[in-house]
Structure 1
Amino acid sequence: MTWLLLLSLPPLAGALAYGRAPLFAWLWAGLAWLAAMGWAAGWAVGWTLLAMAVLAAVLGVFMHDGLRRQRVTAPILKAFRRALPAMSQTERDALEAGTVWWEGELFAGRPDWNKLGAYPWPKLSAEEQAFLDNETEALCRLTNDWACTQQQDMPAEVWQYIKDKGFLGMIIPREYGGKGFSAYAHSQVITKLSTRSSAPAVTVMVPNSLGPAELLLHYGTPEQKQHYLPGLASGREIPAFALTSPWAGSDAASIPDAGVVCKGEWNGEEVLGMRVSFDKRYITLAPVCTVFGLAFRLYDPERLLGGDEDLGITCALVPHDHPGVDIGNRHFPLNAVWMNGPVRGKDVFMPLDFIIGGPRMAGQGWRMLMEC
């Protein structure tokens, strides 16, 4: 009997924890368990009562908000604050950026399945369905995965069809020449292309996901939008986004790439800008891109912008032929056909206007990446 009671303790505690039982339920369950344990083990009544009194006293402290905060949580919090480093602004931005939608309930362990089921199913518009049935179907017929693998590239006519039919500008609004499609339409197009070949699927997917177009739409200046979005929509500009580092992977908070605010010459004039050093790897579309987004940490040691010295993660938009930029030899990750390669630069000077959103968005790169 004693062993049965001991074995029952973990399941009992687990059930109370899973059900998020209030403390008084823990108290009554604990008192009942101690009473049963004292009877089964033959404890003296006095010892059983003493054990029950100790349990009641301990849980009583936790049940009283004032005592718990003063005697338990405050000392623990103080000890943790001494042991842990201070939270950086980048880490604070990461905690505050974005929302969790229904997944918050799932990871909290109490998902409301009825709430999930009540969300409306996404639907394609008539234009999106027509694009899926016609242009996307035609691209699938035009693509031969075996031939792409042998050539290690898509045929020129496939590349041209992707550009001409607006596959690279599906998320760009019509006012800039794009399709203005929904995320669901983007997903359906990529799903269909993937059944034929990964090469066109990845080539189309990257410009329509987190990249220059998405960041420009949310944070770009009017001048940046007018300059880049029509070209991105038509396929005249091919984008890439340089985030991944050989040393930190795609962990934006840990990237070693850095820039310093300084003065330099641009178009024959001395302007305020940044001198940036970066080493990026596995950047999809880098070998064929005409412009790429660049994530790096920006510092202002002379406080030329009037703010903090460590401004934080910053996102800039850089032409592929900008002086000092080196697009390295192509990668073949898993022998994949889609374009992928490194992007490097050492002390590359860029005007502050290269920052997506302009100088006011310096140091806001982490929030931009998380919220997009």
Structure 2
Amino acid sequence: MLSLLALVILVATLTTIFYMQLSLTVGSVTFAVVWLLCGLLASWLYNPILLILLAAALVVLNHPGLRRKLISKPVYQALGKMMPPIGDTEREAIEAGATWFEAELFSGKPDWDDFSKVNFTQLTEDEQSFLDNEVQELCEMLDEWKIYHEHKDLPEEVWDYLKTKGFFSLIIPKEYGGRDFSAYAQSRTMSKIATRSLTTAVTAMVPNSLGPGELLAKYGTEEQKQRWLPGLSSGEQIPCFGLTGPEAGSDAGAIPDKGVICKQTVDGEEVLGMRLNFAKRWITLAPIATVVGLAFKLYDPDHLLGDQEELGITCALLPADTEGVEIGRRHNPGGSPFMNGPINGKDVFVPLDAIIGGPEMAGKGWRMLIECLGAGRGVSLPALATASGEMGYRMTGAFSRIRRQFGTAVGHFEGVQEASAEVAGLAYTLEAYRHLVTRGLEE
């Protein structure tokens, strides 16, 4: 019995050391103890066959090559047959964009020395001047109480100021009349406006987030850029982008909106184009838009472009007054007065050059959206959230100085100070995250 026990202890010790490679980690020690107890149990039962099986299992589990060949690989193969195949939209989403330091965080072993070398973006002279002058002047024009309760809209002079001072062209290249600001400058601009008027910030945010301007600047043909970008920069054209629908929400892969490639006679000429049928809802700036971006699934049943019938999600740009396009009644999103509404289209015919990037970009809209959504979600929305957090801290601090109890401002009470410090810390963290994320987007 004792010799058998010694053998079990020896085998367990040797295999564990081999497994640990002389690194006494908690996991490895725990593993060794479990198997040692199993050996002791087998020894107590005095069953040589059980001992042999335990020793064999130890060898397989503790040898990486054997473990992968005899256990890991068969398990992966079995699970692979059970899992559904990855879809085209899922594959494109995985392949779109790139990674930055967040990849190191997910690895579990981030290189903090590498992180410390990140050079955070600084505002250029033009960007700082815009914040100090145009943005400051805009903020002084805004009265959110009147916007909400009296106008139910932005005052006409605010609309004119937004258009003429380039608030809708922050991401458009300078050669087309835009300001071509960095992601950080865009974020700072939207955040400052949001501290004064969330309605105005949302209004200015949309043309500089996911929308025709960004898609045209990144993927548009030169002809499309020349046609649309100058008007978008000057404010003569007001854009909106139709992605969200009544049934699918913002899930582009599930949108029911369709485009069918066909031919139609236009002004006596046969034109190759698309017949669109769509229903979009909750589209910001839709009630006043002059140009509409659309996401839809494109089909080619007659093989007018090639052998493929289902081309996939496609993005197109068309004038809002195109025949068949109907902009519905304005929504009232929770009482917020920013412009929002539905867009519907029935048998809307547009030529193929309405596809952003031209006919060769047919079916590539999902990848375009995925690559642009990151910027919108990483710039505009965090800017509004950060502004809310900072305003919350400012209002908390102001109230704690004004509100008095027992003849003393409540801000002097330690309990209030503790809560205020937590609010301040969270606001600071939001600001730091915002600066970090915009830097990541720029890189």
Report the TM-score, using the length of structure 2 for normalisation. Answer: 0.73
Task: Give the C-alpha shift of residue 371 in structure 1.
Answer: 2.0
Aligned to 1:5: none
- Whether the 8 Å CA contact 1:27–1:55 is kept in 2: the answer is no
How far has the Cα of 1:39 moved from its partner?
5.5
What is the match of residue 91 of structure 1?
A: 90
Residue 339 of structure 1, CA deviation: 0.8
Structure 2 partner of 1:122: 121
Corresponding position of 1:15: none
Q: Which residue of 1 aligns with 2:65?
A: 64
Partner SS for 2:104: helix
Partners of 1:27 and 1:56 within 8 A in 2: no
The residue that corresponds to 2:110 in the other structure is: 111
Confirm whether residue 366 of structure 1 aligns to residue 385 of structure 2. no
Paired residue type of 1:94:
A
Any conservation in 2 of the 1:23–1:59 contact (CA below 8 Å)?
Answer: no
Structure 2 gaps, min length 5? 1-19, 373-443
Which letter does structure 1 place at the counterpart of 2:36?
A
Which residue in the other structure is 1:339 paired with?
Answer: 339
Q: How do 1:1-372 and structure 2 match up within 5 A?
A: 29-36=30-37, 43-44=44-45, 49-50=51-52, 52-60=54-62, 63-64=64-65, 68-69=68-69, 71-150=70-149, 151-372=151-372
Counterpart-to-counterpart distance in 2, 1:79 and 1:59: 19
- Aligned residue pairs total 349
Q: Is the 8 A contact 2:326 2:345 kept in 1?
A: yes
Structure-1-length-normalised TM-score = 0.86
Q: Secondary structure at the match of 2:196?
A: coil
Distance in 2 between the 1:366 and 1:121 partners? Answer: 31
- After superposition, the C-alpha distances for 1:188-223 in whole angstroms (9 at most, x for unaligned) are 000000000111101111111121111111111111
Alpha-carbon distance between aligned partners in 1 of 2:143 and 2:39, rounded to the nearest angstrom = 76
Return the alpha-carbon distance in structure 1 between the equivalents of residues 309 and 72 of structure 2. Answer: 35
Q: Is the 8 A contact 1:265 1:271 kept in 2?
A: yes
Instruction: For residue 242 of structure 1, report the CA deviation from its aligned partner.
Output: 0.6
Q: Distance in 2 between matches of 1:97 and 1:239?
A: 25
When residues 256 and 90 of structure 1 are mapped into structure 2, their CA distance, relative to the original with a 3 A threshold, is: same
Q: Equivalent residue of 2:303, what SS?
A: coil
Which residue in 2 is equivalent to 1:8? none
Q: Which amino acid aligns with 1:56?
A: L
Structure 1 residues 247 and 109, CA, compared in 2 at 3 Å: closer, same or farther?
farther
Hey, what's the Cα distance between the residues in 1 that align with 2:291 and 2:163?
A: 15
Distance between the aligned counterparts of 2:77 and 2:40, measured in 1?
42
- Structure 2 CA distance for partners of 1:155 and 1:309, relative to 1, 3 Å: same
Gap change, CA 1:73 and 1:55, over 3 Å in 2: closer
CA distance in 2: counterparts of 1:32 and 1:113, whole angstroms: 35
Contact 2:246 2:279 in 1 (8 A): yes
Contact 1:313/1:365 (<8 A) preserved: yes
CA spacing shift, 1:122–1:314, aligned 2, 3 Å: same
3-state SS of paired residue (1:200): helix
Q: CA deviation at 1:113?
A: 3.5
AA in 2 matched with 1:346 = K
Return closer, same or farther for 1:201/1:274 CA change in 2, 3 Å cut-off.
same
Q: Is the 8 A contact 1:291 1:318 kept in 2?
A: yes
What is the distance in 1 between the residues matched to 2:138 and 2:21?
59
Structure 2 CA distance for partners of 1:90 and 1:190, relative to 1, 3 Å: same
Q: Retained in 2: the 8 A contact 1:257–1:278? A: yes
Q: Distance in 1 between matches of 2:107 and 2:257?
A: 35
Contact 1:266 1:351 in 2 (8 A): no
Q: 1:259, CA displacement in angstroms?
A: 1.2
Structure 1 counterpart SS, 2:298: strand
Q: Distance in 1 between matches of 2:266 and 2:217?
A: 26
**Match of residue 9 from structure 1:** none
Matched-pair identity in % = 53
SS of 1:262's equivalent? strand
CA root-mean-square deviation: 2.6
1:13 matched residue in structure 2: none
SS at match of 1:169: coil
Post-superposition offset of 1:32: 3.3
Letter in structure 2 aligned against 1:193: I
